[in-house]
Amino acid sequence: MLIAGNWKMFKGPADAGEFCRGLRDTALPDDVDVVIAPPYVSLSAAVQALAGTEIGVFAQNCHWESEGAFTGEVSAPMLRELGVYGTIVGHSERRQYFGETDETVAQRCRAALEGGLQVIACVGETLAEREAGETDAVLRRQVSVLEADDNLVIAYEPIWAIGTGKTATPEMAQQAHETIKAVLDLPVLYGGSVKPENAAELMSQPAIDGALVGGASLDVASFAAICQNASPS
Protein backbone atom coordinates (compact mmCIF):
# COMPACT_ATOMS: atom_id res chain seq x y z
CA MET A 1 0.00 0.00 0.00
CA LEU A 2 1.39 3.39 -1.03
CA ILE A 3 0.13 6.75 0.23
CA ALA A 4 1.53 9.80 -1.58
CA GLY A 5 0.86 13.41 -0.64
CA ASN A 6 0.80 15.90 -3.52
CA TRP A 7 1.22 19.36 -2.02
CA LYS A 8 0.71 21.18 -5.33
CA MET A 9 1.68 24.89 -4.97
CA PHE A 10 1.64 24.97 -1.18
CA LYS A 11 4.38 25.08 1.50
CA GLY A 12 7.65 26.93 0.93
CA PRO A 13 10.89 25.56 2.43
CA ALA A 14 10.17 26.71 6.01
CA ASP A 15 6.67 25.21 6.10
CA ALA A 16 7.90 22.06 4.34
CA GLY A 17 10.64 21.53 6.90
CA GLU A 18 8.23 21.99 9.79
CA PHE A 19 5.73 19.58 8.26
CA CYS A 20 8.37 16.93 7.57
CA ARG A 21 9.76 17.12 11.09
CA GLY A 22 6.24 16.66 12.41
CA LEU A 23 5.60 13.72 10.08
CA ARG A 24 8.95 12.17 11.02
CA ASP A 25 7.89 12.16 14.67
CA THR A 26 4.47 10.67 13.96
CA ALA A 27 3.78 6.94 14.24
CA LEU A 28 3.09 5.58 10.75
CA PRO A 29 2.12 1.98 9.92
CA ASP A 30 4.99 -0.29 8.87
CA ASP A 31 2.96 -1.87 6.05
CA VAL A 32 2.27 1.43 4.25
CA ASP A 33 4.85 3.16 2.07
CA VAL A 34 4.66 6.95 2.45
CA VAL A 35 5.91 9.66 0.09
CA ILE A 36 5.34 13.40 -0.18
CA ALA A 37 5.64 15.61 -3.26
CA PRO A 38 6.46 19.23 -2.32
CA PRO A 39 6.96 22.11 -4.78
CA TYR A 40 10.43 22.28 -6.37
CA VAL A 41 11.65 25.02 -4.02
CA SER A 42 10.86 22.86 -0.97
CA LEU A 43 12.36 19.57 -2.14
CA SER A 44 15.75 20.13 -0.52
CA ALA A 45 14.21 21.09 2.84
CA ALA A 46 12.01 17.97 2.73
CA VAL A 47 14.90 15.68 1.81
CA GLN A 48 17.01 17.04 4.65
CA ALA A 49 14.21 16.82 7.22
CA LEU A 50 13.33 13.24 6.26
CA ALA A 51 16.90 11.93 5.95
CA GLY A 52 17.26 8.58 7.69
CA THR A 53 13.53 7.81 7.55
CA GLU A 54 11.51 5.51 5.30
CA ILE A 55 9.45 8.46 3.96
CA GLY A 56 10.28 9.26 0.34
CA VAL A 57 10.34 12.66 -1.36
CA PHE A 58 8.95 13.01 -4.89
CA ALA A 59 8.86 15.95 -7.29
CA GLN A 60 5.62 17.04 -8.94
CA ASN A 61 6.96 16.96 -12.49
CA CYS A 62 10.10 16.09 -14.46
CA HIS A 63 11.30 17.04 -17.95
CA TRP A 64 12.11 14.47 -20.63
CA GLU A 65 15.59 15.85 -21.34
CA SER A 66 18.48 15.68 -18.89
CA GLU A 67 19.49 19.28 -19.66
CA GLY A 68 18.94 22.00 -22.25
CA ALA A 69 17.13 25.20 -23.12
CA PHE A 70 13.89 24.41 -21.28
CA THR A 71 13.21 27.42 -19.08
CA GLY A 72 11.24 26.55 -15.98
CA GLU A 73 11.76 22.79 -16.23
CA VAL A 74 13.74 20.41 -14.00
CA SER A 75 15.41 17.15 -15.05
CA ALA A 76 15.77 13.71 -13.52
CA PRO A 77 19.52 14.08 -12.88
CA MET A 78 18.86 17.35 -11.03
CA LEU A 79 16.25 15.68 -8.86
CA ARG A 80 18.51 12.73 -8.14
CA GLU A 81 21.28 15.11 -7.09
CA LEU A 82 18.91 16.64 -4.54
CA GLY A 83 18.16 13.23 -3.07
CA VAL A 84 14.66 12.97 -4.53
CA TYR A 85 13.36 9.40 -5.01
CA GLY A 86 10.72 9.91 -7.65
CA THR A 87 8.28 12.18 -9.44
CA ILE A 88 4.65 12.59 -10.36
CA VAL A 89 3.93 13.03 -14.08
CA GLY A 90 0.76 13.83 -16.00
CA HIS A 91 -1.33 15.23 -13.17
CA SER A 92 -4.64 16.50 -14.52
CA GLU A 93 -3.73 20.07 -13.56
CA ARG A 94 -0.65 19.77 -15.77
CA ARG A 95 -2.87 18.50 -18.58
CA GLN A 96 -5.56 21.13 -17.99
CA TYR A 97 -3.48 24.25 -17.43
CA PHE A 98 -0.11 23.59 -19.03
CA GLY A 99 -0.82 21.74 -22.25
CA GLU A 100 0.37 18.31 -21.13
CA THR A 101 -0.65 15.54 -23.54
CA ASP A 102 -0.58 11.75 -23.42
CA GLU A 103 2.59 11.88 -25.53
CA THR A 104 4.47 14.36 -23.32
CA VAL A 105 3.40 12.42 -20.23
CA ALA A 106 4.89 9.29 -21.80
CA GLN A 107 8.11 11.16 -22.59
CA ARG A 108 8.42 12.51 -19.05
CA CYS A 109 7.65 9.10 -17.59
CA ARG A 110 10.23 7.31 -19.72
CA ALA A 111 12.96 9.86 -18.99
CA ALA A 112 12.31 9.80 -15.25
CA LEU A 113 12.43 6.01 -15.11
CA GLU A 114 15.60 5.89 -17.22
CA GLY A 115 17.05 8.55 -14.92
CA GLY A 116 16.61 6.29 -11.91
CA LEU A 117 13.46 7.84 -10.46
CA GLN A 118 10.28 6.12 -9.37
CA VAL A 119 7.20 7.50 -11.14
CA ILE A 120 3.53 8.05 -10.32
CA ALA A 121 1.79 8.62 -13.66
CA CYS A 122 -1.68 10.16 -13.40
CA VAL A 123 -4.69 9.34 -15.55
CA GLY A 124 -8.38 10.18 -15.27
CA GLU A 125 -11.53 11.34 -17.02
CA THR A 126 -13.46 14.60 -16.92
CA LEU A 127 -17.07 14.79 -15.76
CA ALA A 128 -18.23 15.24 -19.37
CA GLU A 129 -16.31 12.12 -20.42
CA ARG A 130 -17.79 10.09 -17.58
CA GLU A 131 -21.33 11.26 -18.33
CA ALA A 132 -20.80 10.36 -21.99
CA GLY A 133 -19.80 6.82 -21.02
CA GLU A 134 -16.22 7.33 -22.20
CA THR A 135 -14.36 6.59 -18.96
CA ASP A 136 -12.97 3.22 -20.06
CA ALA A 137 -11.88 4.52 -23.47
CA VAL A 138 -10.16 7.57 -21.95
CA LEU A 139 -8.31 5.48 -19.38
CA ARG A 140 -7.21 2.91 -21.94
CA ARG A 141 -5.91 5.69 -24.21
CA GLN A 142 -4.00 7.43 -21.43
CA VAL A 143 -2.48 4.23 -20.04
CA SER A 144 -1.63 2.68 -23.41
CA VAL A 145 1.18 5.20 -24.07
CA LEU A 146 3.01 4.05 -20.91
CA GLU A 147 5.27 1.04 -20.60
CA ALA A 148 5.35 -1.39 -17.69
CA ASP A 149 8.23 -0.86 -15.27
CA ASP A 150 8.95 -2.04 -11.75
CA ASN A 151 9.35 1.59 -10.67
CA LEU A 152 6.10 2.83 -12.26
CA VAL A 153 2.80 3.27 -10.41
CA ILE A 154 -0.41 4.59 -11.99
CA ALA A 155 -2.69 7.02 -10.17
CA TYR A 156 -6.35 7.13 -11.18
CA GLU A 157 -7.73 10.60 -10.51
CA PRO A 158 -11.23 11.31 -11.80
CA ILE A 159 -10.82 14.98 -12.67
CA TRP A 160 -14.31 15.82 -11.42
CA ALA A 161 -13.30 14.62 -7.94
CA ILE A 162 -10.08 16.60 -7.53
CA GLY A 163 -10.44 19.41 -5.03
CA THR A 164 -14.22 19.35 -5.32
CA GLY A 165 -15.08 17.30 -2.27
CA LYS A 166 -16.71 14.76 -4.59
CA THR A 167 -15.29 11.27 -4.45
CA ALA A 168 -15.83 8.32 -6.76
CA THR A 169 -17.71 5.58 -4.95
CA PRO A 170 -15.52 2.63 -3.99
CA GLU A 171 -17.30 0.64 -6.69
CA MET A 172 -16.60 3.27 -9.37
CA ALA A 173 -12.96 3.46 -8.33
CA GLN A 174 -12.64 -0.32 -8.32
CA GLN A 175 -14.03 -0.55 -11.87
CA ALA A 176 -11.67 2.15 -13.16
CA HIS A 177 -8.69 0.47 -11.51
CA GLU A 178 -9.64 -2.85 -13.10
CA THR A 179 -9.72 -1.15 -16.51
CA ILE A 180 -6.26 0.33 -15.97
CA LYS A 181 -4.80 -2.98 -14.78
CA ALA A 182 -6.21 -4.71 -17.85
CA VAL A 183 -3.91 -2.47 -19.91
CA LEU A 184 -0.89 -2.41 -17.59
CA ASP A 185 -0.56 -4.84 -14.70
CA LEU A 186 0.84 -2.32 -12.22
CA PRO A 187 -0.13 -0.92 -8.82
CA VAL A 188 -2.83 1.75 -9.12
CA LEU A 189 -3.48 4.51 -6.58
CA TYR A 190 -6.77 6.36 -6.19
CA GLY A 191 -6.76 10.15 -6.06
CA GLY A 192 -9.65 12.57 -5.77
CA SER A 193 -10.75 14.10 -2.45
CA VAL A 194 -9.23 11.30 -0.36
CA LYS A 195 -9.78 12.08 3.33
CA PRO A 196 -9.29 10.24 6.63
CA GLU A 197 -13.05 9.57 6.62
CA ASN A 198 -13.14 7.70 3.29
CA ALA A 199 -9.60 6.26 3.08
CA ALA A 200 -10.31 2.90 4.73
CA GLU A 201 -13.32 2.10 2.54
CA LEU A 202 -11.50 3.09 -0.65
CA MET A 203 -8.33 1.22 0.27
CA SER A 204 -10.31 -1.94 1.04
CA GLN A 205 -11.19 -2.36 -2.64
CA PRO A 206 -9.09 -5.20 -4.09
CA ALA A 207 -7.79 -3.27 -7.12
CA ILE A 208 -6.84 -0.12 -5.15
CA ASP A 209 -3.20 -0.19 -4.06
CA GLY A 210 -2.98 3.16 -2.29
CA ALA A 211 -3.84 6.82 -2.67
CA LEU A 212 -2.54 10.05 -4.14
CA VAL A 213 -3.75 12.62 -1.63
CA GLY A 214 -4.15 16.34 -2.36
CA GLY A 215 -5.53 18.83 0.15
CA ALA A 216 -5.69 16.35 3.03
CA SER A 217 -1.92 15.82 2.77
CA LEU A 218 -1.20 19.42 3.83
CA ASP A 219 -1.91 18.73 7.50
CA VAL A 220 0.28 16.26 9.39
CA ALA A 221 -2.54 14.80 11.49
CA SER A 222 -4.86 14.41 8.50
CA PHE A 223 -2.19 12.82 6.30
CA ALA A 224 -1.05 10.48 9.09
CA ALA A 225 -4.66 9.43 9.68
CA ILE A 226 -5.04 8.50 6.02
CA CYS A 227 -1.85 6.42 6.26
CA GLN A 228 -3.20 4.67 9.37
CA ASN A 229 -6.59 4.04 7.78
CA ALA A 230 -4.94 2.61 4.67
CA SER A 231 -3.07 -0.03 6.64
CA PRO A 232 -4.37 -3.54 5.83
CA SER A 233 -3.49 -4.75 9.34
Domain boundaries, given as residue ranges, for the chain: 2-230
Asked if residues 114 and 139 have their Cβ atoms less than 8 Å apart, the reply is no
Q: Is the pLDDT of residue 229 over 80?
A: yes
Predicted pLDDT at 168: 81
Query: How far apart, in whole angstroms, are the C-alpha atoms of residue 202 and residue 155?
Result: 14
Predicted pLDDT at 193: 85
Predicted pLDDT at 15: 98
Predicted pLDDT at 166: 74
Q: Which of 63, 125, 157, 177 is catalytic?
A: 157
Residue 227 binned pLDDT confidence (cut-offs 50, 70, 90): very high
Residue 104 binned pLDDT confidence (cut-offs 50, 70, 90): very high
Q: Active-site residue 54, yes or no?
A: no
Asked if residues 33 and 226 have their Cβ atoms less than 8 Å apart, the reply is no
Q: Which of 91, 100, 125, 177 is catalytic?
A: 91
Predicted pLDDT at 124: 95
Q: Active-site residue 157, yes or no?
A: yes
pLDDT digits (tens, 9 = 90+) for 36-45: 999 999 999 9
CATH class, 2-230 region? alpha beta
Predicted pLDDT at 164: 73
Q: Is the pLDDT of residue 162 over 90?
A: no
Q: Mean of the pLDDT values across residues 229-233?
A: 86
Query: For residue 81, with 0-12 CB atoms within 10 Å meaning exposed, 13-18 middle and 19 or more buried, which class applies?
Result: exposed
Q: Is the pLDDT of residue 52 over 90?
A: yes
Q: Is the pLDDT of residue 161 over 90?
A: no
Q: Is the pLDDT of residue 116 over 90?
A: yes
Query: How far apart, in whole angstroms, are the C-alpha atoms of residue 164 and residue 193?
Result: 7
- Residue 153: phi and psi, rounded to 5, are -125, 140
H helices of the chain, where? Answer: 13-24, 43-49, 76-82, 92-98, 102-114, 127-131, 135-144, 170-183, 196-203, 220-230
